[in-house]
Amino acid sequence: MTLGPTIDGGRLLARLDAFAAIGGTPAGGVNRPALSVEDRAARALLARLGAARGFSVFQDAAANLFLRRSGADNDRPPFMIGSHLDSQPTGGRYDGALGTLAALEVLETLEDNGIVTASAVELVAWTNEEGSRFSPGAFGSQVHATGVFPDGWQDTVDGNGIRLADELAATLAALPEAIERPLGLPAAGYIELHIEQGPLLERQGALIGVVEGIQGTRWLEVVIEGQVAHAGTTPLADRRDAMAVAAAIIARLQATVMPSDSDARLTVGRLTLVPGAVNVIPGEVTFSIDLRHPNGGEIDRLEAEIGALAAETAASGGCRVSLRRSMDVAPAHFDDRLTGIIQSVAEKRGFPTRRMFSGAFHDALFMARLGPAAMIFVPCRNGLSHNEAEYVEPHQAIAGTQVLCDATLEAMQLGKHR
Ligand code: HGY
Ligand code: MN
Ligand code: MN
């Protein structure tokens, strides 16, 4: 196996700085919500940079953005690399941006070295991976993989009542130079570089994570309905306090789910209550549950357990409860040959590697449904992510990008990947 061309680390780091400034926050993080003005600015810069190198710019109806570098046989499905540009509200500068800009660096390195690849290579920036502004997450890759938009997406609004459909239309219109393309065009394979967003690589002194799969994720929306009443005059026996019931449910879940299964992850990340006045007993509380597990059957069992516990707790507090799924992605397993290639090119570069599973979901999980897919992780300081302090050492970002370049070229030698 001969190693590929050397990527331009300085160019990569400069690009990371340039994109971090789009939606940059005073604390050094990034707030670039999906389909926002900031997201559109990042997409426009990416398209401009790609067009300047002669790459063709496409977008599909989900606003997934593609930069295409032609190969010898452009009738064959392209090999795809990429990630996402949207961020959490208090996000970091590497989550998604690293994989997207590493893919741009790979395309530019191939161009700089005049390398003719067997088929085209395409960078993809997926729409709304985070799901924090509009559920579900991994929206763009899900639409790409399934060919259809999620049920009810036309009614989806963000916390300010702004419609997903309107923001999507505005984002598409904001990039008139992009050529429209149909949903779900085939790919020969897909590799995504991403930060680990956890502490394992750093703790084990590994530089490259060879990711073998992604655990399942299910998002639930729990609505507790009680009765609005006066805080001062209503005795306990007369209360139907939606907040008291929500707090009891959350406390019981936190005390049981993760303590009894070290593979389970349960997070209540968002809670709203109505009317939200200091001296009024809340009549309605809505909170989110982010439930994850490597075993899809366990997610089903836990969801049933959560439903039963919520119903019992709500009834004892004189309230009603309803649960709705707002996202549901099954665990994904990556292609053994692609993970084998990632491991061998990383070792050839002398980078310590570690095989692992991803606790975070990524767009690669949907690409794994279409064909061969795999991921490369690099460490992030203290395993912190979805946090403005997110940080990746320059040599880590460069090493991950070099492995992405080498693995892409090696994978394309495989011919038919499955
Ligand atoms: O939530 C996730 O797993 C991803 O980082 N958006
Ligand atoms: Mn991400
Ligand atoms: Mn993220």
CATH topology of domain 9-214+331-417: Aminopeptidase (3.40.630)
What's residue 416's pLDDT? Answer: 45
Q: How far apart are CA 180 and CA 65, in angstroms?
A: 10
The candidate with the shortest Cα–Cα distance to 214, out of 326, 131, 296, 137, is: 296
Distance (Å) from CA 91 to ligand 3 centroid:
8
* Cβ–Cβ under 8 Å, residues 102 and 96: no
Choosing from 126, 129, 211 the residue with most ligand 1 atoms within 8 A of its CB, the one to mutate for a pocket test is 129
pLDDT, residue 417, reads 43
User: If pLDDT is split at 50, 70 and 90, which confidence band does 277 have?
Assistant: very high
pTM: 0.93
How far is C-alpha 360 from the geometric centre of its chain's CA atoms? Answer: 7
Angstrom distance (rounded) from CA 353 to CA 298: 30
**pLDDT higher than 80, residue 415:** no
Ligand 1 center to 336 CA (angstroms): 23
Closest by CA position to 146, among listed 95, 99, 184:
184
pLDDT over 90 at 2, yes or no: no
Q: Tell me: the pLDDT tens digits for 14-44?
A: 999 999 999 999 999 999 999 999 999 999 9
What is the mean predicted confidence (pLDDT) over 129-133? Answer: 97
From the CB of residue 417, how many other CB atoms can be counted at a distance below 10 Å?
A: 18
Residue-level pLDDT at 3: 79
Q: How many CA atoms lie within 13 A of 368 on its CB side?
A: 25
Q: What are the extents of the domains in the chain?
A: 9-214+331-417, 216-329
Residue nearest to atom 6 of ligand 1 (CA): 130
Q: Residues with beta carbon inside 6 Å of ligand 1?
A: 129-130, 137, 360-361
Distance CA 362, CA 126 (A): 10
Angle 186-413-209 (CA atoms, 0-180°, nearest 5)? 80
Please give the radius of gyration of the chain, using alpha carbons only, rounded to the nearest integer.
23
Describe the chain by its helix, strand, coil percentages, rounded to 5: 35, 25, 40
Which of 128, 197, 291, 366 has the most ligand 1 atoms within 8 A of CB, as the residue to mutate? 197
Pick the CATH number of 216-329 from 3.30.70.360, 3.10.310.40, 3.40.50.300, 3.20.20.80: 3.30.70.360
